[in-house]
Amino acid sequence: MPMRDHCSVCGGLLTLHERFSGRICGNWRCRSAKLGKDLRVYRREAATALGIETPETFEPVVVPFRTRSIVKLSEKRRSDFIKFLAEIVAEAFGDQESDPDPPCCDESDGSTPEGIALAAEAAAMVCGACVGVCCHHGGCNHAFLDSEALRCLRSTRPGLTPEEVASAYAAHLPNEHFEGACVYQTRTGCALPRDLRAPLCNAYQCRGLREAMEKLANNPSQPFIVIARQDNRIIRSAFVDASGIRRYPPG
């Protein structure tokens, strides 16, 4: 039987699907070994193209990627979202005595100024390369907003009226966004200020982001290469160190 019918790592027999998906079997050890090899080869080639002499010092952080287009925010998406917003504003302000201190507003989670700064630094470099795959799911979940999120906002900014809350969210709706994604996801990131975002958006950490934060915690000067992959293909990357961010391909 020809070798193309066998896993390129362990030599095991491949299924028909596996033959056409990178000549790698479904065993996680084989996939991990193949990924590690691919990342090292890519890191070396990208570093050479950018004139980076020590690619091995850049720790790889892998994040997902989704190819999408920027489109005009349609009037239907806009009107549907404003209608949804009116509903959750009414729920959040309907009972002034309910949830006076919602759990999502609890600031006693142990976060320190250093930890917050570390999270912001990691998010800037990781999410910038990923371009918000997690934000894509906000397209069918109304930016992950609900009445509880608005009660959190009401708790932290008690002077706001229902009309002011609705107006604030409507005012930040962009003219353009990523097709099929959250209404607030734009080419330059989230159009909402952080204090208006859903608690989930501020708290969620993908595996790549968690890894970056852990590595930065151990060594704040650690250089990284953030690698964005889609369907097991490396799409883009960014070398990050004290000198700044160098993207590959450039642009």
3-state per-residue secondary structure call for 21-41: CCCCCCCHHHHHHHHHHHHHH
In the chain, where are the structural domains located?
Answer: 1-57, 71-200
Say if pTM beats, i.e. exceeds, 0.85. no
What's the count of helices (H) and strands (E) in the chain, helices before strands?
9, 8
CA atoms within a 13 Å half-sphere pointing along the CA-CB vector of 30: 16
Please tell me the predicted confidence (pLDDT) of residue 58: 94
pLDDT tens digit sequence for 213-229 = 888 888 888 888 999 88
Please tell me the predicted confidence (pLDDT) of residue 107: 46
Please tell me the predicted confidence (pLDDT) of residue 85: 96
Q: Which residue ranges of the chain lie beneath pLDDT 50?
A: 1-3, 107-109
d(CA 2, CA 5): 6
Which two tokens mark 31?
Answer: 């996939």
Please tell me the predicted confidence (pLDDT) of residue 98: 52
d(CA 62, CA 183): 26
68 closest CA partner among 137, 134, 125, 131:
131
Please tell me the predicted confidence (pLDDT) of residue 108: 44
